[in-house]
């Protein structure tokens, strides 16, 4: 009897954790054929892209090759971008893969499936604001984070020559005070200090000016007030100029223009003001919500097709209280665990169970300066406010949990040891 073909599109945090567990349980034992599709050849945990952008995290060390990981964990990997879907024939179409020069590396392909999982994540939403795509960096992928890092290093070098400075201080504009914008703001001050200590530039944090611009009344609008207040206080202590209740109407070369006609002159711009589902979801013939996310049943099956499962930021998943699962990394992690069990049950003609989201709290890291957040206390849903070293420990443990899910306990322990050694033998930031 032919093996069931399970295809997972999207190797983000949730997608990679899912295929790892499916590969170990089903792929290795020949019970199913597991295939992962991703447009990139390597994986980096998306919540850490702001550290890649400033060089605090060396992507060449921390990235994971999908191809080698697949071989070790019982699944297959194909590089490609989802281009279309034929539900009647149970086929998905992949666009051609091009190199940096636009030359075709892999042709367009058709892939057949029995069960399809979509885990495409989300991308930045510029809300149609003029000039954003031309003059702002995005942090949706490792390539975009690396592009910002190179631009940042070149800008610091240029400002080392007083005659080439465009402004009294090197100025960075960050639109969006969610987790990415807030954490990047702090990382930039840490990066400027490190670049100065290594002799990369004569400038230090006193010569850096960061503008954090948010349309909502406060930073981190989705988090509790106590966390918002503590984070804002720390940001302002670092020197970040926080503009809340401020809507950006356009971005120009060297400036951000707000609705109150304020013109903030900048050297670098980053757009982190919102997220949306990938455009390809519109072309799949599946029912979407108003945010372009695919509507799913509580079991994470598409409302249109029981053979298609969707989870993560691209899924609109209802909860018993009428709310929708929020687009957060912890939600994708929890959904990957439930979906793994449901897919195994589906293979054995078992009963699929609904997904129930459990908010485990929120943690924000402000580089090495501070960490602030809250942890949820069991079924009572009461939160415990934490900060300082304890908060930094729990923040770091989130990444270790992800590593444990995709590498196993023994290998994660070795990685932890290796990371500790690297702190002594390698620079604290990537300088090239």
Domain extents in the chain: 4-122+277-348, 142-271, 361-425
pLDDT beyond 60 at 404: yes
Q: What percent of the chain has pLDDT over 90?
A: 76
By mean pLDDT, which of 164-178, 244-258, 290-304 is the weakest? Answer: 164-178
Query: Mean of the pLDDT values across residues 168-189?
Result: 95
For residues 265 and 252, the answer to whether their CB atoms sit within 8 Å is: no
Strands 97-98 and 104-106: antiparallel
For residues 115 and 73, the answer to whether their CB atoms sit within 8 Å is: no
Indicate if 142-271 has the same CATH topology as 4-122+277-348.
yes
Q: So what's the pLDDT on residue 342?
A: 97
Q: What percent of the chain has pLDDT over 70?
A: 98
pLDDT beyond 70 at 381: no
pLDDT one-digit tens code per residue, 54-66: 998 888 888 999 9
Residue 274: pLDDT band (50, 70, 90) is confident
pLDDT beyond 60 at 36: yes
Query: Mean of the pLDDT values across residues 251-260?
Result: 95
Query: Mean of the pLDDT values across residues 384-394?
Result: 89
pLDDT one-digit tens code per residue, 356-377: 999 989 999 998 888 999 887 5
Query: Mean of the pLDDT values across residues 27-52?
Result: 94
Q: So what's the pLDDT on residue 378?
A: 52
Rounded CA separation 369/205 (Å): 13
Residues comprising the chain, all counted: 432
pLDDT beyond 70 at 216: yes
Q: So what's the pLDDT on residue 402?
A: 93
pLDDT beyond 70 at 5: yes
Tell me which CATH code domain 142-271 carries: 3.50.50.60
Query: Mean of the pLDDT values across residues 194-204?
Result: 85
pLDDT one-digit tens code per residue, 65-114: 999 999 999 999 999 999 999 999 999 999 999 988 889 999 999 999 99
Query: Mean of the pLDDT values across residues 266-293?
Result: 93
Q: So what's the pLDDT on residue 203?
A: 79
Q: So what's the pLDDT on residue 309?
A: 98
Query: Mean of the pLDDT values across residues 262-282?
Result: 93
Report residue 2 as tokens. Answer: 């032919």
Tell me which CATH code domain 4-122+277-348 carries: 3.50.50.60
């Amino acid at each position: 009897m032919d093996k069931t073909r399970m295809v997972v599109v999207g190797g983000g945090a949730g997608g990679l954790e899912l295929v790892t567990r499916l590969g170990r349980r089903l792929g290795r034992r020949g019970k199913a054929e597991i295939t992962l599709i991703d447009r990139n050849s390597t994986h980096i945990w998306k919540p850490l892209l702001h550290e890649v952008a400033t060089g605090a995290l060396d992507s060449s060390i921390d990235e994971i090759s999908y191809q080698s990981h697949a071989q070790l964990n019982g699944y297959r990997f194909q590089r490609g971008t989802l281009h279309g879907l034929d539900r009647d024939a149970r086929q998905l179409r992949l666009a051609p893969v091009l190199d940096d020069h636009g030359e075709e590396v892999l042709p367009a392909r058709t892939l057949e499936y029995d069960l399809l999982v979509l885990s495409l994540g989300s991308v930045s939403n510029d809300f149609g604001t003029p000039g954003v795509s031309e003059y702002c960096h995005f942090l949706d992928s490792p390539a975009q984070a690396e592009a910002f890092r190179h631009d940042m290093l070149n800008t610091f070098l240029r400002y080392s020559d007083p005659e080439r400075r465009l402004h009294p201080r090197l100025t960075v504009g960050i639109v969006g005070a969610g987790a990415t914008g807030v954490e990047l703001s702090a990382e930039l001050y840490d990066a400027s200090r490190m670049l100065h200590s290594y002799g990369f530039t004569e400038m230090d944090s006193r010569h850096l000016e960061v503008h954090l611009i948010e349309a909502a009344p406060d930073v981190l609008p989705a988090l509790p007030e106590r966390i918002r207040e503590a984070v804002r206080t720390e940001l302002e202590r670092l020197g970040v100029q926080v503009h809340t209740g401020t809507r950006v109407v356009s971005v120009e070369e060297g400036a951000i223009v707000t609705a109150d006609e304020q013109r903030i002159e900048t050297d670098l711009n980053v757009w982190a003001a919102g997220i949306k589902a990938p455009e390809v979801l519109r072309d799949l013939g599946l029912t979407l919500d108003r945010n372009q996310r695919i509507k799913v049943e509580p079991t994470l099956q598409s409302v249109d097709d029981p053979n298609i499962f969707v989870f993560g930021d691209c899924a609109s998943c209802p909860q018993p209280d009428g709310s929708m699962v929020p687009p957060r990394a912890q939600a994708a992690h929890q959904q990957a665990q439930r979906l793994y069990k449901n897919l195994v049950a589906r293979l054995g003609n078992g009963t699929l169970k609904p997904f129930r989201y459990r908010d485990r709290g929120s943690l924000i890291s402000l580089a090495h300066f501070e960490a602030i957040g809250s942890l949820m206390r069991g079924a009572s849903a009461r939160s415990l406010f934490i900060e300082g070293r304890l908060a930094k420990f729990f923040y770091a443990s989130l990444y270790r949990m992800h590593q444990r899910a995709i590498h196993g306990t023994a290998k994660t322990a070795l990685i932890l040891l290796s990371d500790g050694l690297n702190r002594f033998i390698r620079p604290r930031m990537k300088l090239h």
